[in-house]
Structure 1
Amino acid sequence: MTNKKTSDTHGEELQELKDLLYAEENSNIIAEIKNMSPLELHILAANFNWNSGFEIPEAILGNGNCDLGTGLLLFYRADGYRVLESKDAVSESAQSEWKDLISNLFDRIVDDDFPNKTISFTPPLTKVQAFKLRKSNPSIPEVFLDKSPGDDVAIPVL
């Protein structure tokens, strides 16, 4: 009986996240993000539609519960590979919001500015991509190339 109740509660939480994700107003989502757990932030980040702008990812990253794994997930989903591939990618971009987000996120990851490290993230790189990145820029921190610390989390599609 307890397992069903726990399962039902988990299902309700996922439904609430789904409803929030498809809410009309970003301000409503941002207000809710302030109270989210690391896992909820990670699930929301993994299901976020980047066509909706940068406000939601910035709110997720601004939550003190944001995990390193979530930061890395957002880095790669925000086309962070371009930054690792070319040092000039940020300066050459005309998208000021993207430049701010990706630069700040890169710096936070390098500075180890994510106190939570409970959710693991494996960069979506092939062995060849990782090899080429290491060869072209040996100073890329390993955190961008290797699996981060923490537990593997199954991410439901909302």
Structure 2
Amino acid sequence: MAELSDRVVEFLSAGTRTGMLGYVAADGRPLVAPVWFVVDDGQLVFNTGRDTSKGRAIKRDSRVVICVDDPHPPYSFVQVQGVATLTDDAQDVLDIATRAGARYMGADRAEEFGRRNAVDGELVVRVHPTKVISGLDITA
């Protein structure tokens, strides 16, 4: 397994950058979808529904990739290739949904988004890095 360096964690955790999740459809097509995520214990973690395209695909094939970029000078990106694990533990789902809500919607709305996104059928996806590719401050 690969590790996220402190600098990569700092980049991934800054602001409200959305992760672009790459995964494989049942028929083999590559798909990409945006996800709100948090970094937790060296993993990228997000919520999704069990019956969504993402949820079904990850259950079928746990290999995923998340790419996060900063499209402003000096331009940066991080690509995390990994293996995803799924859980429907209610407390874990609520914790990650609340933390993502705080990150993307603000601390004052964290609980609201946590409750909204921690309903029956929601999952926590933990991406365990196997390879990390980064280009930080590319034009600096």
Tell me the TM-score normalized by structure 2: 0.28
Tell me the TM-score normalized by structure 1: 0.26
**Bigger Rg, structure 1 or 2:** 1
Give the strand-richer structure, 1 or 2.
2
Give the helix-richer structure, 1 or 2.
1
